[in-house]
Structure 1
Amino acid sequence: MIQKNLVLTQKQSKSIVFDVFYNKTEKQKPLVIFCHGYKGFKDWGSWDLVAEAFKEANLFFVKFNFSHNGGNIENPIDFPDLEAFAENNYTKELNDLDSVINYFLMENNNFSAEIDFNNITVIGHSRGGGIAILRASEDSRVKRLITWASVCDFAKRTATIGDLEEWKKDGVKFVLNGRTKQQMPHNYQFHENFITNQSRLDIEYSAKKLSIPFLIIHAKEDPSVKYNEAENLHLWNKNSLLLPVENSDHVFNAKHPWLEKEIPLALDTVVKNSIKFILSH
């Protein structure tokens, strides 16, 4: 079963668009929820092929767009809604992930017969890795955590910092999307939200708190989020497992669009090790 572009309505925020991949069986399956990264979306590159691999391992795989990632219900790919993107922030993404978990754990949702409510893994890529760490540290329902090329510190990200005086004066700053050539707006509220919630958004503190199985996967030559960020996460959580990936980049040699029928070798390594970790922990 593959169902794409389903809609989860939120009372206090924009709707979340999500996909589900699973084999319909009588046996309840571990739930795996995937969080995309900065300037990312659920349909990026080879994420569909990744989802199919988890499905074939008899896992219930969910991928979704954060509510303010710049996509919308009509077009969840790329960034037709830059006004929403400008109003995104870390706490919105944390709340979105909470909403997704809540939905799939409701007794009367469309998929409750398929899901083992006590077997939840959250996977996050890049910025989504940071969100996944924070959520897992404060949500006992999450039983396993996997990060792919995760950041280790939101305070140092370019979306958070910069020329604060000019940003505050103008109310907005722009970051070029090299692929789409869009100037992606960040309203000053992003920085204000981070400062207000700085203690909650402390990835180091959250990583140290974790007591669940934690797998950290990162490319040694990642040009976007350096490998030392993975080493920091591993240092902060003594029970974590660190898996370096050789000859790869920030997206494990995938790209958008991905027109091949198979995922790249590096990403295949990531996926297979993630599935093995879920099934063995």
Structure 2
Amino acid sequence: MKLTILGCSGSFPGPDSPSSGYLLESGGTRIALDLGNGTLGAMQRFIDPFQLDAVFFSHLHPDHCADFGALAVLRRYHPNPPHDPTARRLPVIAPENAPERFAALYAPDATERAEADLSDVFEFIPIAAEPVRVGPFEVQAVPVAHLCASWGFRVAAEGKVLAYTGDTGPCSQLTELAADVDVLLSEASWADFPDAPEGVHLSGRQAAEVAKAARARRLLLTHIVPWADREEILAEAKAAFDGPTELVAADRTYDV
């Protein structure tokens, strides 16, 4: 299983990275986890977006889903697509209200709403407790603690498992999400501080504590807000988790 970082900036794009978006590849199958601001452009450096086999959205904050609107334009209006996007609709696994939210993103003006039913090129599948199979991938959604309905994803393929936290504050579900995984791709939005708001984000230390409690083999830190001190976040994570730990970077590829 190969992981490519399309973007890893938290809350909004930074000077060196789009917002959150991750490409996973296995056996010729390709899925994306989130498509934040700028990630569709980054994706085109690695694959043709028409090669995607599914997209999973952890939640519907713009830094995780804003480029869905651009993907809709591509799939609807490309003059020479490699296949008929209406005959091969792209599965979109997302929160239940995603069709309405994405329609508003794509066509915010009421006069455009006749064009806003995107089910011609997308198959919307609400996130549920049952795992979703896409080729060799099995993806299990686990609810986590955030400002809105939000899920982490546990992705298995080729005998390996990657857990992606999405956006979350500390919660008991994270240990289940990351249990014995080969890679924990965890948000670490900021360095630890005593008055951090509850149920919003993890610090580097808190992400590392999840990795340690869950017995993860490797910790990759992502979703760091542009104003945060990256080296401070990395240092506090390494102090709390003795496994391999690093900050991801846009356009980097990792073998899971």
The structure whose residues are more often helix, as a share, is 1
Question: Could you state the TM-score of these two structures normalised by the residue count of structure 1?
Answer: 0.38
Please identify which structure carries the higher strand content: 2
